[in-house]
Structure formats: structure tokens, C-alpha cells
Amino acid sequence: MDKSRVAAILDEIGTLLELKGENPFRANAYHNAARAIEQLEGNLEELVAQKRLGEIKGIGESMQEKITTLMTTGRLPYYEELRASLPHGLVEMLRIPGLGPKKVKALYDELGIDSLEKLRTACQSGRVAELRGFGAKTQQKILEGLQFLDQTGKRFLLSEAQEIAHRILEHLRNLPGVLRSEVCGSLRRRKETIGDLDVLVSSQDAGPIMDAFVRMPEVAQIVAHGTTKSSVVLENGMNCDLRVVSDEQFPFALHYFTGSKEHNIAMRARAQSYGLKLNEYELAGPKRSIPCKDEADIFKALDLDYIPPELRENTGEIEAAAAHQLPDLIEVGDLRGTFHVHTDWSDGAASLEEMALAAKKLGLKYLGIADHSPSLTVANGLSPERVRRQHAEIDALNQRLKGIRLLKGTECDILPDGQLDYDDKVLASFDYVVASVHSHFNQSQEEMTRRIVRALMHPKVLMLGHATGRLLLRREGYKVDLDQILRVAAEQGKIIEINANPYRLDLDWIHCKHAKSLGVMLVINPDAHAPSELKFLPFGIDVARRGWLTKKDVLNTLPLSQVLRRLGVR
């Protein structure tokens, strides 16, 4: 069991304790331990083996025992008993925006609501509005949240699906007889959310591989156990299919099961124009099959350049591949720095120096500090006086640290009328400004669009942060005319952020593609609140690649010298 899974279990224990109404300090101890484990830079397995868990701040003896049990056995009886003591539907209800553990517990205690359907019925009959602490407005918000869950379905964040897929692939690749293995489907295309997992293996003997697959510790339920395909439900509720093919069939199956459906239809049509048939087993004509060692050979046989999985949505990639005009997509290694991170000066978990050293360790050459402005009091936004003190600390660190340059930025709130949260004198003290919306999400589309446009017109604003404010699988974005925003950005020479936080991935790839067509430069920012969250950057790269972006389309591929010139910093 890896540290991410350990952290997730500890965090869920904290939530389950809240749902049971246990002492808040006890629940918070698990949440804090989860954060400490997730942000751990060292090797958790080594710390457990060497009995050094006590070195992690906030991890007491009892917590050490539980973490050790998880790491060494893959199970924790206390966690399993706790889960069994509560209806599973209570945890599901926490997915509704605005419903925290206290409210879910009240719904369960007062009305016996233990599922989403019972909650919907109670809201529709008006019983929820009658509860103390709820009211008609909360009831309506819950109904809207239920509708949102209906629209998103049983989907999972890209980051969560990636973590599970990695564990499954590692397990399968270590099995005797496995020749090649890969994850297919929407995960391989790097979509923002994932419905289920599709895993492909090549082997001469499928039986033992299928047997090992259905016996994996992650499996909660076996749906089908066959010789060429098996289906299971994983412990987090995600469906996972495994297909085993011959190694000769592997390239064709990999292409087919990666999709998308629309891309596959277009590829089959192209094959037919060559007098060939393309399916999950072969590329063949009436008299012969065309052997392919890998996917690249399939595209080559159809006079196409190799099409990266991220582009396979039938949005012009086949035509571009035929004309040898596919973009040279951006890579993680192209990034030289980033501009949107938070520290313990506002709502971050680490100091300026800790964030700087973490960025340097990742190979970044510059790091833009963008702590919150004062109106966001919940995030400990910086007053003008605190801004001056932070800038003094940044200056001192830049004198002392080698190999990394800190830039003085801010994530400045865009107020409801479009004004910025600092006056012009304070704004002038920053190297750059990220302008973001954090409040009054219920404005009309016209109001929100005017609000953001006004902010973008300010000469000190460099970039727009998380353009729609969405939280994937949690909250829809506010209503805004993104096309108009992109046109204004193009006219004003402003930059639009791709927020790489897995819950945001905002701007989406479709609007990234539109931004590129308008000549708008983008920037990939992690919105990191801890050193470990700097590792969100690859998820932003995924969005950029799906949006056909190249290195030259993204600001933070520039070296430090060019960035400083762009910002007007000496």
C-alpha cells in the first residue's frame, strides 16, 4: 500500500468519525495525519520498516500503529469496522456541495436519511427545509447538488483514477507471462474525469493472469471472470475491465480501446478508403493482414503521422496527421517555473523557503508566490502591510538561495463590481498579478463576464486564475461568457491560467484550443498550497496537450531571463 492510499484511508476515518459525532479533535487528528503523510517527501515504507514514523510531525503512537498495520498488511480492522458501522450512503451524501459531516449527521439523526434517493424525496416533500439549521434555501441547494451528481454520474478525478491504475498495472506487470500491458480508455486520453478503467495485457496464457486480476486486494466485487475479459468493481466503486490478447493483436487492441469512439470511426473510414479493415484485432485487406509492432505502425500504414492519445477526439487530428501538421505537443520537461502557489503567509501549509526548495528539487528555475488578497479572510489574505513584510522576506531569500528565483505575485480577488482587492499603489509593488473570482458565484452571466472583463482591463493584471471557478465532481463553474473573455484577453495581451489542481483543470482543453486560435498565451499553474502539490503540474500539461498546445503557447516554458523581461523585473 502506497502513501497516497494510506493518506486517503486516514482522511476517510476522520470523516467517518465526524459522521458519528465523535470528538472533533479526534477526527482532526486523522485529517492532519492524512495531510502529513500525503505531503511526506521521504519514503513511507522505509520509515515504517525503520520504526521512524514518530519523526513525522503530528503522528502519535496510536497513529503510528495504524499506519504500520496498513503498510504491512494492506488492511486496517479499525477502518473496516468503522465503515461497517455507518450506512455507505452517508459518505455519498458528502459529495453534495455545501453538505458537510454535521449536516449529513443531522439529516440521518432527525429524518433517517441514509441515501441520496431518500435525501431527494425528503427535499421534494419539504421535510428538509423544516429542520433546524437548514431552511428552504439550503433545501433548494441540496436539490441542485443532487441534479449535479446526476449529470456527472459515477465518475472519478483523473488523479484518483491514475493512482489506482498505477497500482493495478504494477501488480499485473509483475505476473509471469505478461508481455505488454497498458491502461486504455479515457485515462490514457487524459480526460478530466474518468468513468471506469480499461486495462489491456498481451500474453500467451490468459488464465493465470485473469485469476490474479480478480484476486487483487483492490477488488470489492467480481462481475465477470472469463478467459479473454474479466470485469470487477474496485473498493472505491470504480469499474475495471481487463482484456488479454495475443502480442500480435496488442497494438490494434490498444488503439481500439483507447478510443475515442469518434476517433475510431474516423480511423475505420480511412482504412476502408485504402481497401482495408481496422478493428481491435487487425488491420487487414481481402488478401492479407498488415502486421504492426506498435500503434505507430497502424498510423504509418494509413499514411498518417503518429497521433498522441490526448488528441484522439476526432477534432481534426486525422487531417492534421495526414498533412504532417500535428503540433509538437508540450511536455512536462518544458516547464521552467510557475506563478500560482500559496504559502503559510495566507492559506498554504509551508513557508516561502520550503516552497522554494521543493520547486528547486523539481527542477524549476523560478517560483511565483501568489498568496491571497485581504478580502478573502477565510484564506488569511494579506493586508498591504503584510505584503511589504512578505516582499522583504522574498528579497532576503533571493539573496541567499541559489538555483531558484522567487517572484512577487498575488492572487488578487476580483470584487463583485470588477475592481481589484488592492489599490494601484499596492498592485504596483508586485512583479505580476493573478486575478481570480472567489465570491458571489451566483451573478448572472452578463454580470460575471463584465466583472472579469473589467479586471482584465487593469494594466497590472497579467493573468486570469481558474477562469470558471469550477470544482470537478463537486461544483459547477459560475456562468460566464468564456469566448468573450478570451477575445478580451487577446486584445489586451493577457494570459489565461490552466489551473493544474486535479479538482479544477480550469481552463478546459476545448477553450485552450480556442485561446490558441486567438493567439492568447496560457500559463500552467499548480495552485499549490503545500510542497507536494507542486506535483500537480503534469495534470495541467495533460489539459494543454489535449488543447493542442505547444511549448511556445505556454508562458512558463520561457527561461527566467525572458520571464523577467516580460514582467519588467530587473
Report, as an integer, the average pLDDT of 105-128.
Answer: 94
Same-domain status, 178 and 255:
no
C-alpha cell read off for 130: 423544516
Q: Residue 327: inside a domain, yes or no? A: no
Residue 43: the pLDDT is 79
509 lies in some domain: yes
Counting Cβ atoms within 10 Å, is residue 212 exposed (0-12), middle (13-18) or buried (19+)?
Answer: middle
Instruction: Indicate if 65 and 132 belong to the same structural domain.
Output: no
Task: Give the CATH number, domain containing residue 264.
Answer: 3.30.210.10
Pairing between strand 337-341 and 366-372? parallel
Residue 569 scores a pLDDT above 90: no
Task: Using pLDDT thresholds of 50, 70 and 90, give the confidence band for residue 473.
Answer: confident
End position of a domain, from candidates 301, 322, 343? 322
Do 470 and 375 sit in the same domain of this protein?
yes
Whether 132 and 181 map to the same domain: the answer is no
Cell matching residue 5:
492510499
Compute the distance between CA of residue 496 and CA of residue 436 in angstroms, rounded to an integer: 11
pLDDT, tens only, 250-262: 999 999 999 999 9
- Maximum Cα interatomic distance, the chain, rounded to a whole number of Å: 79
| Structure-block grid coordinates of residue 9 | 484511508
pLDDT at 197: 97
Range of weakest confidence among 7-21, 114-128, 150-164: 150-164
Q: Specify the pLDDT at position 32.
A: 87
Say if 465 falls within a structural domain. yes
Nearest to 203 by CA among 241, 175, 231: 175
CATH number at residue 60: 1.10.150.110
Q: Work out the average pLDDT over 64-78.
A: 91
Structure confidence at residue 40 as a pLDDT band (50, 70, 90): confident
Find where cell 483543470 sits.
505
Do residues 233 and 179 touch, judged by C-beta distance below 8 A?
no
3-state secondary structure of 70: helix
pTM of the model: 0.82
Q: How confident is residue 143, by pLDDT bands cut at 50, 70 and 90?
A: very high
Identify the DSSP state of 259: -
In a domain, 1, yes or no: yes
More confident position, 435 or 2? 435
- Note whether 45 and 68 are same-domain residues: yes
Q: Is 433 within 8 Å of 441 (Cβ atoms)?
A: no
Radius of gyration of the chain (CA): 25
Q: Which of 266, 289, 322 is the last residue of a domain?
A: 322
Q: Which of 66, 86, 106 is the last residue of a domain?
A: 86
Confidence band (pLDDT; 50, 70, 90) for 38?
confident
- Same structural domain, 418 and 536: yes
393: pLDDT strictly greater than 80: yes
- Are 69 and 213 part of one and the same domain? no
461: CATH: 3.20.20.140
Domain count, the chain: 5
Rounded percentage of the chain residues whose pLDDT exceeds 70: 99
**pLDDT greater than 90 at residue 4:** no
Asked if residue 162 has pLDDT above 90, the reply is: yes
In a domain? residue 92? no
Instruction: Please check the confidence at residue 152 and state whether its pLDDT lies above 70.
Output: no
Task: Please report whether residue 149 resides in a domain.
Answer: yes
The reply to whether 91 falls in a domain is: no
Rounded to whole angstroms, how far apart are CA atoms 193 and 191?
6
pLDDT at 75: 86
Asked whether 496 and 556 are in contact (CB, 8 A), the reply is no
Within 303-377, residue ranges assigned H as helices are 317-322, 352-361
CATH of the domain at 219: 3.30.460.10
Which of these ranges, 122-136, 138-152, 316-330, 387-401, has the smallest mean pLDDT? Answer: 138-152
Q: List C-alpha distances in Å: 190 to 421, 542, 557.
A: 36, 6, 21
Residue 182 and residue 123 in one domain: no
Digit-coded pLDDT (tens) for 418-467: 999 999 999 999 999 999 999 999 999 999 999 999 999 999 999 999 99
- 230 assigned to some structural domain: yes
What pLDDT does residue 516 have?
97
Q: Are residues 175 and 308 in the same domain?
A: no
Q: What is the mean pLDDT of the chain?
A: 94
User: Quick one: 480 and 412 in the same domain?
Assistant: yes
Cα torsion angle, 201, 206, 210, 216, sign? negative
Q: Confidence class of residue 218 from pLDDT cuts 50, 70 and 90? A: confident
Cell numbers standing for residue 338: 510557475
380 and 498, same domain (yes or no): yes
What is the amino acid identity at position 10?
L
Reduced to 3 states (helix: H, G, I; strand: E, B; else coil), residue 530 is coil
pLDDT digits (tens, 9 = 90+) for 518-532: 999 999 999 999 999
- Tell whether 279 and 223 lie within a shared domain: no
Range of the domain at 42: 1-86
Res. 335: pLDDT tops 90: yes
